[in-house]
């Protein structure tokens, strides 16, 4: 008697089948023939898993100045700003999202590196070049866990350093914070929401193009 394979248990140990007479049975897969086990393996590899992806999510986003350092003398001003983002993810769907992950890309144009050393004190290094793309990125991710209805999950990003060098009170070299792109994914990797910081140049950059940018070099 032939049968139709209906489903496989989450631990891939049991198979649910329906016989020609309409009766459904559950079997231990290890007890089936090798041919039947191979059929089940092929079925698992080719079936389309239907996953709910129409959750209504909302993101609140704020950039935060964590720290500012500067040194000014009679002519030169050296400035370091350390900036991060505070992200609040909210599920507006009545249905709980079982597990979610947040990914982000922070992009800025790096033109100058301001630093302080014991030997030379405050100084700067010109890092940009007109003929090259000066944009760099910092990526990060965070497990959000279960997202219940109308409840916020808060995430703080890593900090990026935005520098400025002034001569006689006028900007000579300055980094430019482009913005942040955010993705929320479910446990299967489906993108449930993608958003960029509103009103910033990041909205003109795709996720793929942002990921292709150079990684920022951290000072050692």
Quick one: 84 and 143 in the same domain?
yes
Owning domain of residue 24: 3-46
Quick one: 34 and 141 in the same domain?
no
Q: pTM for this structure? A: 0.74
Quick one: 72 and 167 in the same domain?
yes
Quick one: 177 and 101 in the same domain?
yes
Instruction: Note the pLDDT of residue 210.
Output: 96
Quick one: 105 and 38 in the same domain?
no
Quick one: 18 and 82 in the same domain?
no
Instruction: Note the pLDDT of residue 220.
Output: 42
Quick one: 39 and 107 in the same domain?
no
Q: Which two tokens stand for residue 106?
A: 């922070």
Quick one: 24 and 92 in the same domain?
no
Number of domains into which the chain is organized: 2
Residue 51 lies in a domain: no
Q: Which two tokens stand for residue 89?
A: 């993810």
Quick one: 132 and 207 in the same domain?
yes
Residue 52 lies in a domain: no
What is the full per-residue pLDDT of the chain (220 aa) written as tens digits?
A: 466 777 777 677 787 777 777 777 787 877 777 887 787 777 766 655 555 667 899 999 999 988 888 888 889 999 999 999 999 999 998 888 988 999 999 999 999 999 888 888 899 888 876 667 899 999 999 999 999 999 899 999 999 999 999 999 899 999 999 999 999 998 888 899 999 998 888 989 999 999 999 999 865 4
The string of DSSP codes covering 10-61 is TTS-EEEEEETTS-EEEEEGGGS-HHHHHHHHHHHHHPPPP------EEEEE
């Amino acid at each position: 008697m032939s049968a139709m394979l209906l489903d496989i248990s989450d631990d891939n140990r049991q198979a649910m089948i329906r016989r020609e007479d309409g009766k459904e049975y559950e079997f231990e897969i290890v007890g089936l023939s090798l041919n039947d086990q191979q059929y089940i393996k092929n079925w698992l590899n080719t079936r389309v898993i239907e996953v709910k992806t129409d959750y209504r999510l909302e993101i609140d986003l704020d950039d935060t100045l964590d720290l500012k350092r500067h040194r000014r003398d009679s002519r030169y001003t050296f400035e370091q700003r350390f900036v991060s983002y505070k992200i609040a993810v909210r599920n507006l769907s009545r249905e709980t999202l079982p597990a979610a992950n947040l990914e982000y890309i922070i992009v800025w144009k790096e033109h100058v590196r301001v630093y302080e050393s014991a030997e030379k004190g405050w100084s700067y290094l010109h890092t940009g070049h007109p003929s090259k793309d000066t944009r760099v990125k910092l990526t990060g991710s965070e497990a959000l866990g279960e997202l219940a209805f109308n409840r916020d999950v808060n995430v703080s990003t890593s900090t990026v350093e935005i520098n400025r060098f002034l001569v006689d009170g006028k900007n000579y070299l300055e980094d430019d914070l482009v913005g942040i792109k955010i993705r929320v994914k479910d446990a299967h990797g489906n993108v449930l929401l993608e958003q960029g910081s509103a009103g910033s140049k990041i909205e003109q950059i795709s996720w793929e193009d942002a990921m292709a940018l150079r990684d920022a070099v951290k000072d050692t």
